Every structure is written in C-alpha cells, then in structure tokens.
Amino acid sequence: MVRAPHRPLRTRTLAARTAVALALVGATLTMAPAAQATKPAAPPRAEGPCDIYAAGGTPCVAAHSSTRALYASYDGPLYQVRRTSDNAVKDIGVVAPVALPFADAGGYADADAQDGFCANTLCLITVIYDQSGNGNHLYQAPPGTFRGPDVGGYNTLSIADTAPITIGGHKAYGVYIIPGMGYRNNDASHLAKEDEPEGIYTVFDGTHYDSGCCYNYGNTSTNSRAVGTGTMETVYFGTATAWGRGTGPGPWIMSDMEAGLFSGYNARQNDATPTIDSWRFVTGVVNGGGGNQWDLRGGDAQEGPLTTYYSGIRPGSLTNSNYFPMHRRGAIQLGNGGDNGNGSAGTFYEGVMTTGYPTDATIDAVQANVVAAKYDVQRLSLSRATTFTPGSAQEVTQTFTNTTGSTAVGVKLSLSAPAGWTAVVKGTDDTSVTFEDPVAPGASVSATFTVTSATTSAGYLTGRAQWTNPTRGGRQSTVTSQAVRSALPVRINEVRFRTSSNATDQFVELYNASADEVDLSNWTLTNTPSGSAAVTLATIPAGTKLASGDYYLLGLSGSGLAAPTAAGATTVNVRSTTGLAVGQQIEVGTGSTRETRTVVDIGSAATAATTLFVPVTHGSITIPAGSTNIPVTSAAGFTVGQQIGIDTGAGYEQTTVTSVGKAATQTTLSAPAAAGATNLKVAANANLTVGDTLTVDAGEYKETVTVAAIGTTGANGTGVDLTAPLRFAHRSAVDLAGPGTGVSFWPPTARAHRSGVSVQALGAGVTLDQPLANDHPTGAPVVGPQITTAGYQGSPAPDQWFGGSLSVSAGSLALRDATDSVVVDAIVYGSQQSSSSGNGTITSPELAILEADQAGGGCIAVVAGAAANPGRSNARWPDGSDTDSLCRDFVTTTVPTPGAANTR
C-alpha cells in the first residue's frame, strides 16, 4: 500500500520535536541509576547453514555470502570492495552482536561500512570470501574457452551497490551479475572430485535472469575450459534452452553437468521442473555423487519448504556413461559456465558446497534457516533518471518499503543532488516530506521530487529515509544513491566498424542535437575494446566548434602510432605499413601538433599484442618493478634489439628486447601419475625447457616440479622427467602450467605488472627524413594519401583522423567533455544475446548502466557486421535520438551516411 504524504505546519513539527526531546531527557534521567547495574550480555548468534550441515555429517568445504555469516561463529570478512577512484580496497565484514541500546545478535553484512567507503564513487566487488576456513575465496574469473570483456580476457567485476536488499530487517547487498561478469576459484581445495558425494545450495534473485550461458554456482573445471561431460555439477538458474529445460517459459532451476543443463533424467524437457515466476528470492539445491544418484530441489527463500523436482539416477545413465560416473574437477564458479561462457545474468546472495551427500532432514533444516534469515526487498529506492541537459528538470520518485519488521513512525524522505543542482518535493519548495500515518511492516510510501540540473556536471542523487521504531525508540535512517550527469546533447550518432572488404574502414560521427553551437575543444573519445584497457581514441583540437544540427566526422587513418613518440625521434613504431612506400610524405599527429615527414625506410609494423601470461588454474602472476623478464602467452613477433610496450594507459612503459625465450605453457596430464614418480605424461611440451618450474594439479594436490629432461607427448610418449619424485598422486587430465623462459629486456620495468596486461612487439618501425618536432601519443594518426586499402575510405573527408582501431566485435566508446569528469555520451556494443556461449557480454559495465537499464540479459547496441561496401553501421534514428537505452536508440543501417543525416 502506497500512501500520500502529509506535510504538517513547521510550528507544529517543532513543538512535537521539542516534546519528544524533553521526554527523552526525562527518560534518561529516570533510568540513570539502572545504568549502574550489571551490563547485559549481547545475545548469541543463531546457527547458520554450515552449522546445520556439519551437524548432519556433511560439512561445508566452501561457503560464500555477501549478506550474512553462514556459521554462528564466523566473524571474518564477507567480501572485498575496490574503489575505482583511487583503487583503495576494504573488506566488508559482519555486524558484531551488541546488547545496547537494543539487543542485536548481528551476523549480517555491515552495509554501512560499504556505503561510507564507496560514497559518491563507484566500487567493485573484488573478492567473495570463503567462510569455511579452506581458503576457497572467489576471485575475478580468468579467461577460458570464452574470454571476458575485462583486461586480458578476465570477466568484469560486479558493481557493489547494484543489488541492495534487506536481511533480518538490515540493509545488505547481493552480487549483481550482468553478461560478461563472473567469479571463480580454479585452485580450490577439498571439493568433491570425480564421483565423490557433495551437496550444493544457493540463494538468488528469482526475477533476475537471462537465456545466456550460464548463471551457475558450484563445482567446475580447473582451467576455465569445457573438459568433457560429467566434469561439472552446479545449481543453474535461467532460460537457456540449448541443452535442456523444464515446463513453461522458464526460468528454471537446473544443474550444469558440462555439455548439458539438466532438470531430470532426460536431456531435453522434464515436466517435473516448473517455471519459477513468483518468488523474489529463490533457494536452489543440487546433491549428487557417491553412486548413480542426484537430486534437484527448489523453494521460496522467504517462506515454506523445498520441493523436490527430481531424485534419481544420472542423466542418460541407462544407455551411456556421459554422466555416470561423474568426473568433477573440484573448482568453484559463480555466474559463468565451465568454459567461461559468460553471457549470463543473475544475482547471488549466498551459497555453499559440502563434502558428503546431505540428508533430506539436513536440507530441510537449511531451507528453514534461510527462511528464518528473512530476506526481503530493497528498503529505499529511486526511479531511474536519464541524462540531464544543463538547466533541465526530471521527476524522480523515492520509495520507502518498510522491511524492518515493525511499524515505522514519522517516515521522512529527502533527496540531495550534486552541487548547484536542486531537488524539491514535486509542486513545492520543500526539500523533504514527512508521512504522518505510521507505515506498517511490508507497506510502502513514495514521494516524487523535481530534480533540476545545473551546468555541465556529474555526481550522485542521494535519497535518505528516516523513521522511528515505536518499540525501540530513536531515529533510524537509510540511504540510497544513483549516478547522474548533466551534459550538452552532443551524441555519438553513427559508428561503422568495418566493411566486407576492409576491416579498418571505420568512422565515428558526432552530432549536435542542441539548438546552440557547442565548443568541443579538448573533448575526448575513449576506446575500450573488449578484453583490453581503455585508451584515448582522439582528442578534439582546441577551437573546434560544432553548429546546431551539424556533424563532426572522425575517420580511422591508414596507420597510427603503436607507441608514444617523443620530439626528436626519427623512427616511429606504427600499427600498419600497408600502403606506405619510401619517398612518400605522411602526416603524423592531429591538430596543432600535426607535422609532415618523408618516409626514408620501412621496417616491420607492430604485431598484435599478446598478454602477460595468465595461469588460469593457479591465480595470477605479478612481475615486480625492476623486472627484466616477462612471461608471455605468445613469444611470436619479438626480436632482439627492437622495442616492446608493456601495459597501457598510466601503467605503460617501453623497453628493448635483449633475448627471446619460450612462451608459457598451459596444458594437462595425458595419463595418471603416482606419488613418487619422476615422470609426467603431458599433452603439450613445445614451450618447455630443461630447468623450468611447473605447477601440477590444483588445490590440496598442487605441487611444483622442475624439468630434468623433455621427451615426447601423449599417454604413450616418453613424457617429461623431473628432478625429484612427486609428493602426490595425480589424475589424468589435471592441469600443468609453467611461465616459460619469456622475453628479456633492458632497462628494467619501473612499475609492477599483472597477468593479462598487454605486451606488444613494436616492430622496427618507419624511418623519417628528419626528426619530429612534437611529442605524439599512442594512437596518433599516421596519414598517407597513397594508402587506399586500409583505414577510412571514401567521402566526405573526415574532420579529424584517429590512429587506433576499434574492435569490430565488442567494446565501448565514451565521449567526455574537456574536464574529463562528464561522460557526454557513450555506446557499448557487442553481439546479440543468445541461449548459449558467451554472447551479449558487456564491456565497460559502468558505462552500460549509465546508458541503459541492464536488467535481464542487458541492453547494448548489437554491433553491425560486415556487408558489401559501404557496409553496415550502428546509427541513431533519427539523428541525435537518445532515451538512454542502447538497445533501442541504435539501429543497424545498410546505408552508412558519414557526415550526413542517418537513414534506416
């Protein structure tokens, strides 16, 4: 029930507050002698799900939650957040039990600590801690068969405040997954392996899902690849139908057992598994192993028992051995598939994995514990505001839902805005509204505020609710916030990524949708290709002004600088040498720094960047400042005496190759190895060298070995001899990795670098007839009129060239004003969401959320593919149309119109 506000006279409010204050003073004086009595003890915490599992003889071996402690005794951190403004991190723990002023057993997440640390900035969830004591924490998922959109192919991280809820009447946050996000621990310990028995349960949002692969929580492969049927066991939630389904349209609770989502015995539809469409919070349960058996259960996490959807033998086991016996690998995943398929969406609150097959009584008791935790909806919310223009106004509705469990009295709602903005109750000059009638548990009240922006700026709307609990007394409050911006209406209006004959025939068109001329001086375009770091694509020269209704066209030059070049240089490292010839004149740079030189020699272009090796099974590598060697995923293209570039942006540095060794190895064992053995049968050895240190297996069986001799590959090969006997026995197909001998260089690195960052061989470059007079950044255009088969071609000529190419498959472009603090406009683009794989992943989630509602499978511009010249483009229709909905504002046109009105 939503109630209208009541605004009493200020004098009456003042009198009432005075009376309450005097009463509280009197109460304090009256109770003063009692304060000398024995201080009451804090109440004990109730048992958690892992206490119940332990009592049932099936203890938790991994326990994760962003909302509460899963043991009565756990008082460690639940998760870690990182502030993007300064990269500072903070562990978010649980609230401790207290006796005064009111008894509170604690045990729920300290959301206030997160709110304080992340106030007016963006925070990401970087770690979800394991409460079991086994150290099975969840980290940013590394690349697998499918790569993620973050640097180095990692999955992106959840934005920390996107899933607010309440639990036990207290604010907490879930882990909100959109396509491209995900967490993993491929080096977990003590999880079920092969066909050992295990139990899994998780609590998630029943209204947040999609059809992409695969929103999972559970047991998975240790190398982020699909390694065969029966190698996984998870709880899945969503509407993917490529492998199996339940009844109705979905979503369904199923189990991902690798190469199959199952809801029963059959590989396709199982009628006993229903569509879950009425539960806000859902419990999903899968148990299996220890024989040809598995169970699938689900229930409302707010009330009632679980329902068994299936209990029986493994899928297809009467006719094949695909899923019995199982061959589970013992890693942990959240929000992705075994092969890192990351096209999924969902919201995680808690989940555990056990050793042993839990009894029905244990599972029922865990569900009762979940219900008793009292999951409930967000207490305070704001309706979504779209982009403001300077001086414009929008209505924003703030809603308070009483999830406290008690009546809320004197509810007051207020809204603050960035400096210079105003926020008042609609139709008044008041900055807050107080509701006279009490708000019953479960009821809601709302107020609409008129928000008026100032000049171009960005910041946060912060809603606040205050109320009194009549039982406990005292004033309570909660806050919520939303990023907002006020920007001039200059749009990224059309983008072409390629044509059928030229993958670099790219342009970006800006359009002034305002009624006035706009000064674009020193505005920037930032380019973030999926899997790479953000780089400046172009800086618009000072003095550039765009008339109302006019276009500003930027085209990709035939070549561009692959590395920054200092004044005085006579050799430039370039992206491409296509079309260049000795004796040609070329232009380097743009705007006032543009200069013309003659080519006197053409060497090699820079190669496509590789990465600092990501050992996907065993975590990440960081090479410290002062290093002279770097382990690489590929050693191709590096040449002694030539330059290499390491990292991007502020972390970028350049050095000279002194020797080229071998790339890293990520492979598997081709046969089992016994404890005490001194030989390993391996699937690949091309990059191994005598003396290499290798890491074998994962978790509790992980060990390092040193190579003594290298033979042939395969189960029947001579294998790799070791300098010392193995400490553990190892199964066939477990992972083996080594960093290789890498690429050496001088001078040493000035800063540390982490797995996944770019490492690029810069080539011999192009030699010029005379030194350059200016400094030029990476990505500066190199323009030659003779280049006719690379870069933007045709008419009209661009107003400005850029030298770094756009990803043709997925990425983002952001237009920022001269202050660099306001995102004027952005496009986030990628493939179409589908029922499998990693389709629809979202680069730059912080931009995507600003530019569109990212519920369900997300909302991005589906990249226009290649077509016969002039190709296809992504265009706003009509020009300048912008509703802050990427999937609707951009259409695909087969008639690109650079510098002119868009067509459909």
Q: Active-site residues: which are they?
A: 258, 339
Q: Could you tell me what percentage of the chain is helix, strand and coil, using 3-state DSSP and rounding each to the nearest 5?
A: 10, 35, 55
Angstrom distance (rounded) from CA 615 to CA 695: 10
* Residues 276 and 259: beta-carbon distance below 8 Å: no
Radius of gyration of the chain (CA): 30
Q: Which run of H or of E encompasses 586?
A: strand 585-588
Q: Using CA of residue 739, residue 141, residue 762, residue 686, what is the dihedral sign?
A: positive
- Where are any strands of DSSP class E within 130-188? 139-140, 164-167, 170-173, 175-177, 183-185
**Residue 157 phi/psi, 5° resolution?**
-105, 150
The 8-class DSSP code of residue 845 comes to H
Tokens of 330: 């013992």
Contact 841, 180 (CB under 8 A): yes
Separation between Cα atoms, residue 791 and residue 395, nearest integer Å = 45
Place of tokens 């548990």: 441
Task: Read off the tokens for 893.
Answer: 């046109």
Report the alpha-carbon distance of residue 126 to residue 186 in Å, rounded. Answer: 16
- Residue 238 CA to its chain's centroid (Å): 19
d(CA 543, CA 852): 32
∠ CA 65-339-864, rounded to 5°: 105
Q: Assess contact for 154 and 145: CB atoms under 8 A.
A: no
Q: Which residues contact 429 (CB under 8 A, 6 or more apart)?
A: none
Tokens 């004086």, residue located: 29
- In terms of Cα–Cα distance, which of 587, 498, 557, 503 is closest to 787? 557
3-state secondary structure of 896: coil
Pairing of strands 183-185, 175-177: unpaired
User: Long-range pairs for 293-296 at CB < 8 Å and ≥24 separation?
Assistant: 293/357, 294/233, 294/255, 296/253, 296/254, 296/255, 296/262, 296/263, 296/264
- Between the CA of residue 622 and those of 56, 503, 570, what are the distances in Å? 42, 34, 34
Query: In what helix (H) or strand (E) does residue 493 lie, and over which residues does it extend?
Result: strand 490-496
Distance (Å, whole) CA 296 – CA 299: 11
Task: Assess contact for 732 and 531: CB atoms under 8 A.
Answer: no
φ/ψ (deg, to 5) at 119:
-55, 130
Q: What span, in angstroms and rounded, lies between the C-alpha atoms of 833 and 838? A: 8
3-state secondary structure of 133: coil
Q: 786 is written with which tokens?
A: 């003779």
> Considering Cα of 769, then 770, then 772, then 778, what sign does the dihedral take?
positive
